[in-house]
Amino acid sequence: MQLLKNILNTDLGNIQEKVIDGHRLDSEDGIRLFESPDILAIGNLANLVRERINKNRAYYIINRHINYTNICKNRCKFCAFSRDNDEEGAYQMSIKEILDKASQIIHEKATELHIVGGLHPELGLDYYVEMIGSIHERFPHVHIQAFTAVEIAHFADISGMSIYETLKKLKDAGLGSLPGGGAEVFSTDVRKELCPEKLSGEEWLNTMRTAHNLGMRSNATMLYGHIESHKDRINHLLKLRELQDETGGFMSFIPLAFHPKNTDLKDFSSTAGMLDLKMLAIGRLMLDNFDHIKAFWIMIGIKLAQISLSFGVDDIDGTVAEERITHSAGAETPEALTVDEIKSLIEETGREPVERDTLYNRIN
C-alpha cells in the first residue's frame, strides 16, 4: 500500500500500472523514467521487478580478472587503459604469466576467470587459443569468461575466419562464455565521436547473436555518463531486449559508469550517484527478459552497490582480485574484496547472499 502511495504521488503516469501488471515498457516510458527526478518511485518499481524475479537473493561470485594486454589499436577516447605498442607502460602477458595469475585463484576457491584485453595489432589467433586451451587444461573446473565481442570480431578479422568459426575454435579450446564489454552505446553518432575504430553496434549484437546460437551465454553492458542522450540509452536497452527475445542468451546487464580521469574526456565529471542508481533501476525496468542486473562495485563504489540492492540489482559481481581498466581511469575503489566483506555488505541490506558460478548456479 505504501509503495502505491509513494508512486501515485509522482508524474510517472501509467508506468507503475504497467510494471505492476507485468506489461512491457516502451521507449517513451523509458525516456520519462530518465527525466523523472523521483528516484524513490523508480527504485520501488525496480525493486518490485527484482523481487519478482530473484526474490530476496543477492548474488556474488569468487572470481579473478586478468587483463592480458593493454596494447590496443582502437584507442577509444573514453579509455585510459590502452597504449600504443611502443608507448611507455604498454604490456603484454605471456601465456606463462597468465597461467601464474590464474593459479593464484586456486587458493582463493574462485570459480571464474574474467579475461579481457586490448586489440593487439600483432598477436595471432593462436595466442588466444593457446591461452584458453592451457588454462582449461590446467584448471578444468574453472569457468573461463573471456573476450568481449570487440575482441572476438578482431580475432576473426586477423585470422580471416568468420565470427562463427572463431568462436567455435575458442569454445572447443575451453572458452565458457563472453563478458558484456565493448557495447558502449550503440548510437552511430556517439560511436563516431568516441570510438570511431570500434565495431558498430550492429556488429556487436551480431557477434553476441552468433555466440548465443553456438550455445554460449554472455553478458551485456552499456557505458554511460559521457555524451549520450536519454534516447541513446533507451535505444541501447531496446536493442538488447530485442536480441534477448530472439536468443535468450544474455545472463546479466551491467551499466558501466564512465570514469574520465586520464582519458581524452578528462574534463568530464564523474557520474553522480543519482544517475548510477537510475541506470540500474531503469535497466531492471526496461529489460524485462533479463534475469539479472549487476552492479559492478569497482565502478560505482561499494556503498552505492550495497544500496543498489534495493533499486533493481540482484548481483554485485565478485571478489575481482585485480582490475586495471577502471583503475587506470581514476577509480578509487579497492582492487579486490574478500568473500567476508561481500557477504556482510549484502547481509546488512537484509538480503540473502548467494554464491554463484558464472552461469548463476548456486554454490553451496
Binding site for ligand V47 (CB under 6 A): 78-80, 116, 148, 179-182, 184, 219, 221, 223, 254, 256, 258-259, 263, 296, 317, 325-326, 329
Is 74 among the residues that bind ligand SF4 (CB under 6 A)?
Answer: yes
Is 81 among the residues that bind ligand SF4 (CB under 6 A)?
Answer: yes
How far apart are the C-alpha atoms of 282 and 231, rounded to whole Å? 13
Q: Are 104 and 137 in contact (CB under 8 A)?
A: no
- The site partner of 179 among ligand SF4, ligand V47, none (C-beta below 5 to 8 Å per kind) is ligand V47
Candidate segments 21-29, 74-82, 209-217, 356-364, binder of ligand SF4 by CB under 6 A:
74-82
How far apart are the C-alpha atoms of 312 and 277, rounded to whole Å? 9
Candidate segments 35-43, 70-78, 289-297, 305-313, binder of ligand SF4 by CB under 6 A:
70-78
Comparison of 131 and 222: residue with beta carbon closer to ligand V47: 222
How far apart are the C-alpha atoms of 356 and 358, rounded to whole Å? 7
* Max CA pair span of the chain: 63
Burial of 2 (0-12, 13-18, 19+ CB in 10 A): exposed
Candidate segments 28-36, 75-83, 203-211, 229-237, binder of ligand SF4 by CB under 6 A:
75-83
Site string for ligand SF4, 2-21 (x = CB under 6 A): --------------------
- The site partner of 194 among ligand V47, ligand SF4, none (C-beta below 5 to 8 Å per kind) is none
* Residue partners of 223: CB distance under 8 A and separation at least 6: 78, 183, 184, 185, 256, 258
Helix H or strand E segment including 144: strand 143-146
Options 7, 62, 79, 146; binder of ligand SF4; rule CB under 6 A? 79
- The site partner of 283 among ligand SF4, ligand V47, none (C-beta below 5 to 8 Å per kind) is none
Is 150 among the residues that bind ligand SF4 (CB under 6 A)?
Answer: yes
How many CB atoms within 10 Å of residue 359? 13
- The site partner of 82 among ligand SF4, ligand V47, none (C-beta below 5 to 8 Å per kind) is ligand SF4
Instruction: Report in angstroms how near the CB of residue 109 gets to ligand V47 at its nearest.
Output: 19
Compute the chain's Rg from CA coordinates: 20
Order the strands of the 112-116 sheet from edge to edge. Answer: 63-67, 112-116, 143-146, 177-178, 217-224, 250-257, 292-293
336: cell is 579486490
Is 92 among the residues that bind ligand SF4 (CB under 6 A)?
Answer: no
Is 118 among the residues that bind ligand SF4 (CB under 6 A)?
Answer: yes
Which chain residues interact with ligand SF4 by CB under 6 A? 72, 74-76, 79, 81-82, 118-119, 150, 195, 198
